[in-house]
Amino acid sequence: MPTLRVNGVASSVPVPTSMPLLWALRDALGLTGTKYGCGVEACGACTVLLDGEPERSCSVQVHDAVGKAVTTIEGLSPDGSHPVQQAWVAGQVPQCGYCQSGMILAAVALLRRTPQPTDAQIDAAMRNICVCGTYQRIRAAIHQVAAATAATAAAGSAGSAGTAGARS
């Protein structure tokens, strides 16, 4: 029986190691935030983070996830307080919401790699399909998180510079 580390918790999962990770998450672990969309890696509704990188869980077999950290939308922030989740709400990004867990996780990975992404970088990274067409709101939410992160970093730098000067 394979053991998966999902959202920081190691669990023995009674599934074949050749099963797609998507179905192990949904059916064996009850984590239904990861959605089935197409089953062929095209739509991104099933996106999870595997060692911090976005992966389409419909095409990752369980044995490929053993020994890696799997993060689903449920593990990103149990109370919805992650900055990307908050930006999604503030920007009224979702319409039907079906693709949003995959979109949010893809955005989190993008912002970890590229804290201040350009529109072109966002477009290149956000390859998930949203049939409602909320791409402009998705881009705006990502820019909102990037701006807030930059402002927090700048405030922290200014505060520590002032503190360092006071110690001299």
78 token code pair: 């149990």
Q: What is the DSSP string of 21-88?
A: HHHIIIIIS--TTSPPS-SSSSS-TTEEEETTEEEETTTSBHHHHTTSEEE-HHHH-TTS-SHHHHHH
Predicted local confidence at residue 166, as pLDDT: 46
Q: Where do the structural domains in the chain lie, given as residue ranges?
A: 3-160
Residue count (the chain): 168
Predicted local confidence at residue 40, as pLDDT: 95
CB-CB contact of 149 with 115 (8 Å): yes
Residue 21 vs residues 6, 13, 51, 124, 133: alpha-carbon distances, Å: 11, 11, 14, 25, 27
Question: Options 2.30.110.10, 3.30.1300.10, 3.10.20.30, 3.40.50.170; which CATH number does 3-160 get?
Answer: 3.10.20.30
64 token code pair: 């490929």
- Alpha-carbon gap, residue 118 to 39, rounded angstroms: 30
Predicted local confidence at residue 163, as pLDDT: 52
Please state the pTM of the whole predicted model.
0.90
Predicted local confidence at residue 104, as pLDDT: 98
Q: Residue 32 contacts by C-beta under 8 Å, 6 or more apart in sequence? A: 26
Q: How many CA atoms lie within 13 A of 162 on its CB side?
A: 6
> Mind listing the pLDDT tens digit of every residue in the chain (168 residues)?
999 999 999 999 999 999 999 999 999 999 999 999 999 999 999 999 999 999 999 999 999 999 999 999 999 998 999 999 999 999 999 999 999 999 999 999 999 999 999 999 999 999 999 999 999 999 999 999 999 999 988 888 776 655 554 444
